[in-house]
Amino acid sequence: MSIRSYILSLMKDERNEKVDIMVKSFLKMLSRAYEWGVKFVDRQYRTGARHVHKVSVPVISVGNITVGGTGKTPFTIYLADHFLNAGKNPAVLIRGYGDDEHRMLRDELPDVPVLVGQNRAKSANAAVRTGSDVLILDDGFQHRRVSRDLNILLLDSAAPFGNGCLLPRGILREPVPSLKRADMIVLVKSDRISAEEKEKLVGRLADLAPEIPVAVARHKPVFFADVTGMAYSPEDLKGKRMCLVSGIADPGYFALQVKRLGGMISTRFDFTDHHGYTQKDIDRIRAQCSRDKIDAIVVTKKDYVKMRELDLSRIEEKIFILHIVIEIIEGKEKIIAGLNSVICR
């Protein structure tokens, strides 16, 4: 296990041996220092000590308050499609951590400019100069340098706040009360919890931030595609021996989706989030799939955009990419009303 994987397991309280408890105590001290830094920055923005860049067109931010795993990129695609259908010219601004999200965005949104860069104020100005009339900040909740007209916060329904601790002891990027900065909260992956758990979570959010509307969504699998782009229904792969390969923050949800489609999962390769695939990884996957007599290697779109740059010979015909969309289960009218209120100003 890598150091990164080990720390992540502690952040999620998946390990509780004596040495783990000692390391957690040390991480807790670091969390206090981190919290002080977060509150200091927040105070600077609230008092105006830090400059906020105002853009001449509407800006919508999509983000979270935890580390990874809430599906910001699929939701960004959902928003971009909405604006395209409304006759707008959206652009997506992304920091570009790793290179998987912006490749995926450019594949999925060929008619939408995707600007990559840490200075998103600069990216915003560039997008406006080239004709974009609405901007989407991907992973923008903590990026407060750019003013936004709608602040959408995504929460994982099954673990909205993790263990309640900030980094590096927990998965929180900032304290829970920070969610009050949101204009709208969307509970994603709602199919991981029961109706009673969902009702309880919605009630808790109503206590924490009573004025903020809440919508409920899930990641809906729609079809598989092979490397040529040919689509296959879930029925086409039902009953086949599968190997799952992913480098995402929540491989368990990916596996759950495939199982619900009738997949027989025999082997899994769960790499860390934003994993940079190497030929050695591909060779290892190829060898394991040969030994296990795998019929289909199922990957996410986020992973395939990096894997396709490598030599996939002898497994290429077995690779299937799972395509998902964001489906709003409850509160779609709240989301649409919020988006329309921004672009109609």
Q: Model-level pTM greater than 0.85?
A: yes
Residue 31's pLDDT is 97
Same domain, 321 and 332: no
Task: Categorize the per-residue pLDDT at 6 as very low, low, confident or very high, splitting at 50, 70 and 90.
Answer: confident
Decide if 105 is inside a domain.
yes
Q: CATH number of the domain that 239 lies in?
A: 3.40.50
Q: CATH number of the domain that 84 lies in?
A: 3.40.50.300
Q: How far apart are CA 42 and CA 44, in angstroms?
A: 5
What is the per-residue DSSP string for 2-33? -HHHHHHHHHTT---SHHHHHHHHHHHHHHHH
Q: Apex CA 265: angle with CA 262 and CA 266, to 5°?
A: 145
Name the token pair of 66. Answer: 């935890």
Percent of the chain with pLDDT over 90: 88
Same domain, 108 and 237: no
Task: Categorize the per-residue pLDDT at 68 as very low, low, confident or very high, splitting at 50, 70 and 90.
Answer: confident
Residues 197/166, Cβ–Cβ less than 8 Å? no
Decide if 112 is inside a domain.
yes
234-270 residue pLDDT tens = 999 998 999 999 999 999 999 999 999 999 999 999 9
Same domain, 171 and 234: no
Residue 311's pLDDT is 97
Q: What integer best gives the mean pLDDT of the chain?
A: 94
SS3 134: strand
Same domain, 242 and 154: no
Same domain, 155 and 91: yes
Same domain, 254 and 297: yes
Domain carrying residue 213: 59-219+327-343
The tally of domains found in the chain comes to 2
Same domain, 88 and 169: yes
Residues 294/267, Cβ–Cβ less than 8 Å? yes
Name the token pair of 286. Answer: 């190829």
158-170 residue pLDDT tens = 999 999 999 999 9
Cβ contacts of 37-46, under 8 Å, gap ≥ 24: 38/166, 38/173, 38/174, 38/175, 39/175, 42/174, 42/178, 45/144
Which H/E stretch holds residue 148? none
Q: Regarding predicted confidence, which is higher, 20 or 4?
A: 20
